[in-house]
Amino acid sequence: MRIHVVMMAAAGLGLSAMPALAQATLKDAFKNRLLVGVAVRPHQFTGANATQAALIANQFNSITPENVMKWDALQPRENEFHFEQADRYVDFGTRNGMFTIGHTLVWHSQVPGWLFKDAAGNPVDRETLLARMKKHIQTVVGRYKGRVKGWDVVNEALEEDGTLRQSPWLKIIGEDYLAKAFQFAHEADPAAQLYYNDYGIEGGKKRDGAIALLKKLKAAGVPVTGVGIQDHVSLTWPPATMLDETITAFGQAGLKVMITELDVDVLPARGHNTSADVSRNEAADPALNPYTNGLPANVQEALARRYAELFAVYLKHPGVVTRVTLWGLCDGESWLNDWPIRGRTSHPLLFDRACKPKPAFQALVAPRR
Helices 240-252 and 204-219 cross at an angle (nearest 10°) of 10
Q: How far is CA 172 from CA 85, 115, 168, in A?
A: 31, 12, 6
261 given a catalytic annotation: yes
β-strand 226-229 against 232-234: which pairing, if any?
A: unpaired
245 given a catalytic annotation: no
CA distance 327 to 304: 17
Q: How far is CA 360 from CA 6, 107, 309, 310, in A?
A: 10, 32, 11, 11
Q: Judging by beta carbons within 10 Å of its beta carbon (0-12, 13-18, 19+), is residue 16 exposed, middle or buried?
A: exposed
Helix (H, G, I), strand (E, B), or coil: what is residue 229? strand
141 alpha-carbon distance from chain centroid:
19
CA distance 130 to 135: 9
Expressed in angstroms, the distance from the first to the final Cα of the chain is 12
Helices 204-219 and 177-188 cross at an angle (nearest 10°) of 60
Q: Which of 66, 84, 127, 156 is catalytic?
A: 156
Q: Which of 261, 301, 309, 333 is catalytic?
A: 261
Phi, psi of 144 (to 5 degrees): -110, 20
CB 96: neighbour CB atoms within 10 A? 16
CA distance 326 to 89: 17
| Catalytic positions | 156, 261
